[in-house]
Amino acid sequence: MGLVRSLCLFIAFLSCLIISVHGQATARPTPVSGTRIGFYLTTCPRAETIVRNAVNAGFSSDPRIAPGILRMHFHDCFVQGCDGSILISGANTERTAGPNLNLRGFEVIDNAKTQLEAACPGVVSCADILALAARDTVILTQGTGWQVPTGRRDGRVSLASNANNLPGPRDSVAVQQQKFSALGLNTRDLVVLVGGHTIGTAGCGVFRNRLFNTTGQTADPTIDPTFLAQLQTQCPQNGDASVRVDLDTGSGTTWDTSYYNNLSRGRGVLQSDQVLWTDPATRPIVQQLMAPRSTFNVEFARSMVRMSNIGVVTGANGEIRRVCSAVN
Catalytic site positions: 75
Per DSSP, 201 falls in state: E
Q: Is 256 annotated as a binding residue?
A: yes
Distances (CA, A) of 43 to 118, 122, 262, 293: 13, 10, 45, 41
Cα R_g (the chain), whole angstroms: 20
Q: Is 79 annotated as a binding residue?
A: yes
Q: Is 85 annotated as a binding residue?
A: yes
How many Cβ atoms from other residues are within 10 Å of residue 285's Cβ?
Answer: 18
Q: Is 248 annotated as a binding residue?
A: yes
Q: How far apart, in Å, do the first and last CA atoms of the chain sit?
A: 64
**Whole-angstrom Cα distance, residue 30 to residue 261?**
30
Q: Is 246 annotated as a binding residue?
A: no
Per DSSP, 67 falls in state: H
**Whole-angstrom Cα distance, residue 67 to residue 84?**
17
**Whole-angstrom Cα distance, residue 328 to residue 318?**
10
Q: Is 295 annotated as a binding residue?
A: no
Residue 45: partners with Cβ closer than 8 Å, 6 or more residues away: none
314, 23, 27, 47 alpha-carbon torsion, rounded to 10° = 0
Q: Is 62 annotated as a binding residue?
A: no
Give the burial class of 118: count Cβ atoms within 10 A of its Cβ; 0-12 exposed, 13-18 middle, 19 or more buried. exposed
Q: Is 81 annotated as a binding residue?
A: yes
Q: Is 128 annotated as a binding residue?
A: no
**Whole-angstrom Cα distance, residue 301 to residue 220?**
33
Binding residues: 76, 79, 81, 83, 85, 94, 167, 197-198, 248, 256
Known binding positions for heme b: 197
Residues at the binding site for Ca(2+) are: 76, 79, 81, 83, 85, 94, 198, 248, 256
Question: Which residues sit in the known binding site for substrate?
Answer: 167
